[in-house]
Each structure stands twice: as C-alpha cells, then as structure tokens.
Chain A
C-alpha cells in the first residue's frame, strides 16, 4: 500500500483539527468524571442541546453559532449548578451515587434527547457560517475553515480551563476534591460548593462544544450517543483528571481516526481508536499524562 505525501499531510492536519474539536467535547468529562468522580454520561446530551440553541439563535438572528454558544454559556453554567444540586441531594449525599446516580444521568440523556425529538423532529440540522465554504491551501495541504475556527476556539478554551485549574486556589481545590473531601474541609474549603461550580464549568464547556459540532457536521437529537464512547475514551487515554492529557488524547484519536479513514476506510476508524486506547492503557494504565 502506498502513502502519498500529500495524503499523509492532509490526514495529519485533518486529524489535528478534528482532535482539537474532540478536546472540546471531552474537557467537560475530564472535569466531571476525571476530577469530581461524577459519571456524567449525559454530557453528550448537553453538547447536542448546545448545538440546537446555536441553531435556533442563528436561524433567528443570524449570529455565528460559536458566538451564540459563548454568550449563552452562563445559562449552561447555571443549568450545571442546578443539576449537581439535584444529584448531590438525591444521590451523592446519601452515598448512592454509583448506580442510582448513573441511572439519573442516563435518564437526563434520554429526556433531553426525546424533548429535542418532540420539538425539532429527527431531521438533520446544519448551520451555514460565513466561513463554512472557505478553505485555505498551503501547498498540497487543505485547511477547511469549518474545522479551523472550532479548533482555534476549542484549544483556547481547553488551555484556559487548564490554566484556571492549575493557577487558582479554586482550581487546585477542584483537583483535590475527589482525592479527599474531608482533608479539603480541613483547609477551609466547602467540597460540595467546589464540586457544584466545577460541574457547572464542565456543562458550560459542553454547550460551547455543541456549537462546534453543528458548524462541523449536521446534527440530529440522537447523535450525542455516538460521542459517549469517544469522550470517555479520550478522558481515559489522556489520563484521568489531566486536561493536558485530554488534549493530547484528543489529538491522538483525531489523527488515528483521520489516518484510518483516509487509507483504510471510515468504518475502521472506531476500531483503530479503541484498539489504540487498549494498547496505550496496556503500557501505561494511568493514561498518557495521568498522575
């Protein structure tokens, strides 16, 4: 089999761009699952909700979907606070978070999905932006703007989250909260408040990732399910609770997927991605950058 240079370069660049987008999908899971021990399998539902909100506002006012998502991110943040409050009062406080909490988030996933189906139907929706049709060319390599713009905003967001978590008092408390909540209280920190705000941050990132999704590809309500495996795989591959790991894991899976699709056909892409995950965990069980 031959690997022409132009195709290889294009596959790598497309993989990097895709990886940047995957990082936005996964950074929230890296916070909730990796740092807070909250197994929020409803995360993709909030991504799809973000897609539809961007779609509605774009159709109504013509505002760019990514701008919409950034403007409405405080609403997602508030939704996250409310959701964690319910989860905490009903499950976590009683020590029933492992199974019933999981069922709770599963329910949220389905309720959100069904609500979107009832309102919008099952048709695919897409948003056309000013840059949707634009592609920059650098020699033989293509840079489609519908991937480049989400990539840039996503990497900025993920790096911002990382800096926030490692350079602020609150961020360090988020890193510590699942390791020993009582020890955190002995530092004068309320662990429930820290978890609530960090969970809200994770939901806010989902809303923004939703806008990227609808810029990149058409969206229908059940499409979130396709991403559940991917986001958890990236989180585990990168290393639980490591944002740099999540970014690296997203790039690795993005490039692997793009390479496989280009040379062996798209149907092999998930198999290669998850094979890579298993191989990486075999050599380093804590993930690429896990502590």
Chain B
C-alpha cells in the first residue's frame, strides 16, 4: 500500500523568528529523499513540524499511510507516531539510564509494533549484532556509533511506514557515517520504507538518495530529480564543494 508525504507552503518558527518561509516538498512511495542544507537553514525545524513538535503557522502537511490520507497539522506527536511515521531525532535522544533492550522495547510501545515485536527485535539484532551483545548495558554508556545504531533500531521497532532521519552523521567518524548510511539503505529496502533524510554531509546522503531538495534560509532553493542532477548543480557545488 502506498505511503507518501506532502508538504505545501509550510511556514513555521519560534516566537518572533520565522524559520521556514513557505516550504513545499513531497516524498513518494518507497523513495529516499535527501533534504540538504548547511546548519541553521531549517532542516530540523521542518522535521519537527512534520512530527507536530513545532506548530505550523500556515500551509499543510499530509501523509498517506497504507493508502489513507491523514492531515498532520495540529496533531499531537504521539498520534503522528501512531499513524506509522517515525523520526530519528538529531542528538539521538536515547534514554541514557535504561538498558539497550529497554530502549528497544520502548520503541515497540504502539499496539501495531507490539504485535511485531519478536520479528522486529530479531531483525534489529541480526542487522546490529553489537546491540544483541550489549542488551543489558545502559544506553548512555555506549559509544557514539553504537548509540546511533540503537537510535536507528529503536525507530524501526515502532514499525514505521515513513521514516524521517535528522542528521544521522552528526558526531560520527567518516567511516562510521558511511557504515550508518549503508545500514539506512539496507533497512529501507528490507522494510519498504519511505524515507526523508536531512543531512549536511552531501557526499554520504547522495549515495542512497533517489532525489533531493536544497534548503537555504528556510526556502527550497533547488529540487534535484536525480542523483546526477544534484551532483552537477551549481548551488550544491558552491555550498558543498567550494567550486
């Protein structure tokens, strides 16, 4: 069944500061779309808007989950998660004083996820054997890379249809970033997820993205409909390659 995300004319901000100045984008069923932009341009705010953490001022956000259209504007975060949309937030936001397993089981709180708990847990342990080894360790005592794996695995435990990922590369070594990006691709393919990924690391993001948007000062400045188009765009070459 089709799962997609549609955003039209979205404006949002904090207090007197307007961060998003009329964003329109869409993520089609089964796509991986990259949201590119350097720090402070509104990528995280857009993610928070979709999840109902930051309220939108004008515009619309709709998601199609299993062929049914839902208006996300004004909905509580937990209700949006319960529709089948998961966010891997920037900064990971694990529960540091709970064990790896407790973090994973909390991911499976929503009723649909509980039904699939054994299968999803086995899958997470297969893809991230390190998490199986560290089941009883406190999440806060793991390394940055392991924490990022746990964040990914925990989001998968919610059994999402649409996955939003905010800056998976932050704080990781280049080798680990490459590893995590590969895992995101594998998970996406195995679960048939629809993915929107915000990332500053252009070269890594472009490896798995079907297409992408460049966000500058709260506006979509460029929409690239393929990897090649993105790689050869003048704005991207200026922002990311210094050319």
Contacts and interface: CB of A to CB of B under 8 A. Distances in A.
A94 interface: no
B76 A169 contact: no
Given A169-B109, A186-B89, A176 B98 contact: yes
Contacts of A172: 98, 102, 105-106
B97 A179 contact: yes
Nearest to B86: A186
B159 to A, nearest CB: 10
A169 B109 CA distance: 6
Contacts of B87: 186
B94 A183 contact: yes
B99 to A, nearest CB: 9
A192 B37 CA distance: 35
B109 A173 contact: yes
A180 B138 contact: no
Contacts of B113: 188
B185 interface: no
Interface in B86-108: 86-87, 89, 93-98, 102, 105-108
B89 A183 contact: yes
B138 A291 contact: yes
Nearest to B111: A188
Interface in B121-167: 138, 154, 158
Interface stretch (B14-22, B77-85, B196-204, B205-213): B77-85
B98 A175 contact: yes
A179 B98 CA distance: 9
B97 A184 contact: no
A198 to B, nearest CB: 15
A33 to B, nearest CB: 15
Contacts of B51: 186
Interface in A163-182: 169, 172-173, 175-176, 179-180, 182
5 contacts: A185-B76, A187-B107, A188-B109, A188-B110, A291-B138
Q: Nearest 5 pairs between A and B by C-beta?
A: A188-B81, A183-B93, A188-B110, A185-B77, A176-B95
Given A172-B102, A179-B96, A186-B89, 5 more contacts: A169-B108, A173-B109, A186-B81, A187-B107, A241-B97
